Structure 1
Amino acid sequence: MSTLLLVVGVVVGIAYIYRHVVVKGKRYTSKTKLDGKTVIVTGSNTGIGKTTAIDLAKRGARVILACRSVQRGEAALEEVKRESGSNQVVFMPLDLGSLKSVCSFAETFLKSELRLDILINNAGIYLQGRTEDELGMMFGVNHIGHFLLTNLLLDRLKECEPSRVVSLSSVAHNFGTINFDCLNTHKALGLGTSFMEVLQIYSDSKLCNVLFTHELAKRLQGTKVTCYCLHP
């Protein structure tokens, strides 16, 4: 009985340490204000994106909620305004699974907004299928949509430097591989049906996020536009 209690105690102790050190991590306590700054957060109608938008709005930033669903985007707009107490929050429709939508969003944003200080490429999916442009769904949304969006807005980011690009990847990128021949020939970066195949495709798309961030950072050396990717 005492051995069992010891084992249970050790397991609970390890679980507690894992949660508070690895999963929960340290809490961000900076009181930095962002008055006068404009931020785009993709996929900000739910989850991490919405929480990020609320915090940025509380800090005084003008926040653009870039979301696919108009209904959910408008609902999130009201919630972010209410939770942050800020009226400097705007919803603009953006479907990262449609290159046409990405171009339209960028055009509308550049015409209506004078600044872009932070671009947060937050949106991501774990879903099979193909995009409007016949790309693999996860490859198209998780990587290509953000790749195009970032490049279309890059000049504005440079104009407003110091500025930054933040892309949400995943620890799953460690399991990703990229078949560049497949990428060039079929555009899908893999399509599958089994659990392991779908997980592999997701991991591949997250590796694309990391590689894109590294390459973009190289190309922006000498500017004051900095690039970051992270596991949330």
Structure 2
Amino acid sequence: MNQNADRSMTDRIVLITGATGGIGRATALGLAERGAHVAITGRDRARTDDARREIERVGGGEVDVFVADLSSQAEVRRLADDVLERLPRLDVLINNVGGYWNTRHVTVDGLEHTFALNHLAPFLLTNLLRDRLTQSAPSRIVTVSSNAQALGRIDFDDLQGERSYSGSRAYNQSKLANVLFTYELARRLEGTSVTVNALHPGVVNTGFGADDPAPIQRLFVPLARPFMKSPARGAATSILLASSPELAETTGRFFANGNQARSSPRSYNQADAARLWKVSAELVGLEQSE
């Protein structure tokens, strides 16, 4: 542990999804170094425990571990129950988990995998933890999106890519959904002292998309790796939004590379945001609220 590090997050409880590697792990390390009590999720027990050991070495405190596959709604609900039981407070939720699949895969719930993991999982988890976040206010919700949102379009007639599937189209749609969800949730949480923001981390050198890459990824990524950000640099905006005192009241905003930015014109369509909320609530079996 670096004794001279900024300890501004001391006693703050932060939950980070998908924190066994890449940006999520780097985010957990950065916040632990700042004194946060970190809780992490991962699909694999061994990898999650490995991440826990490294984070504890850096932060000097105990790390809570939750093992769950967030593409499954039952596991998202179990995770939320475990978090509510084990964490007395929740100061920051970082929806970091996400992925890219070039070919269409279906989850145990019968949903297209990209949409289920990248959008529906944070939508459901955030709503299940919403009361705890409100009770813990001032608190923050941070969702890792991507500049791919600028290429996204919500295809309400084929959200699951059943009629026509493209890995990049599905990914872009899910990242736009992250931003629409962020803006709609910020509107719904107005006056609660819970802030909600989304971000683009930059192009980061991780194993992202390696399970089922597109042909262009196979060609482009090895050539581009020397120019990509490290995971630590990619995590910087997530850490900023989770910890910066200057952003304590900033909500309903999109950030890129550490700065506030304009997201795509489609992301500001409030009718689409409300419609996406309604459809998402139906897909995950949530009662409609406000």
Q: TM-score range by the shorter chain?
A: 0.7 to 0.9
The separation in 2 between residues aligned to 1:37 and 1:155, in whole angstroms, is: 17
Aligned match of 2:258: none
Q: Deviations over 1:169-217 (max 9, x none)?
A: 000011111122334xxxx155756xxx211110000000000000000
Query: Which aligned pairs between 1:162-181 and structure 2 lie closer than 5 A?
Result: 162-181=138-157
The separation in 1 between residues aligned to 2:113 and 2:163, in whole angstroms, is: 9
Structure 1 residue 134 displacement after superposition: 1.0
Structure 1 residue 44 displacement after superposition: 0.4
- Contact 1:192 / 1:198 at 8 angstroms: preserved in 2? no
- Contact 2:29 / 2:59 at 8 angstroms: preserved in 1? no
Structure 1 segments of 4+ aligned residues over 2 angstroms from their partners: 189-193
Identity score, percent = 44
Aligned match of 2:123: 147
Q: Which has the higher contact order (CA 8 A, sep 6+)?
A: 2
- CA gap of 1:136–1:172, structure 2 versus 1, over 3 A, is same
- Contact 2:145 / 2:199 at 8 angstroms: preserved in 1? yes
Aligned match of 1:41: 16
- CA gap of 1:113–1:191, structure 2 versus 1, over 3 A, is farther
Matched, 1:137 2:113: yes
Aligned match of 2:39: 64
Report the 3-state secondary structure (helix = DSSP H, G, I; strand = E; otherwise coil) of the residue aligned with 1:45: coil
Gaps (5+ residues) in structure 1? 1-29
Matched, 1:201 2:170: yes
Structure 1 residue 222 displacement after superposition: 1.1
Larger-gyration structure (1/2): 1
Report the 3-state secondary structure (helix = DSSP H, G, I; strand = E; otherwise coil) of the residue aligned with 1:182: coil
The separation in 1 between residues aligned to 2:91 and 2:66, in whole angstroms, is: 17
The separation in 2 between residues aligned to 1:44 and 1:94, in whole angstroms, is: 12
The separation in 1 between residues aligned to 2:65 and 2:46, in whole angstroms, is: 11
Letter in 2 for 1:159: Q
The separation in 1 between residues aligned to 2:137 and 2:70, in whole angstroms, is: 25
The separation in 2 between residues aligned to 1:136 and 1:175, in whole angstroms, is: 19
Structure 1 residue 81 displacement after superposition: 1.4
Structure 1 residue 88 displacement after superposition: 2.5
Letter in 1 for 2:130: L
Give the aligned length: 195
- Contact 1:61 / 1:88 at 8 angstroms: preserved in 2? no
The separation in 2 between residues aligned to 1:114 and 1:221, in whole angstroms, is: 23
Matched, 1:231 2:209: no
Aligned match of 1:80: 55
Aligned match of 2:259: none
The separation in 2 between residues aligned to 1:142 and 1:60, in whole angstroms, is: 28
- Contact 1:136 / 1:191 at 8 angstroms: preserved in 2? no
TM-score scaled by structure 1?
0.80
Aligned match of 1:126: 100
The separation in 2 between residues aligned to 1:51 and 1:129, in whole angstroms, is: 28
Aligned CA-pair RMSD? 1.6
Matched, 1:97 2:66: no
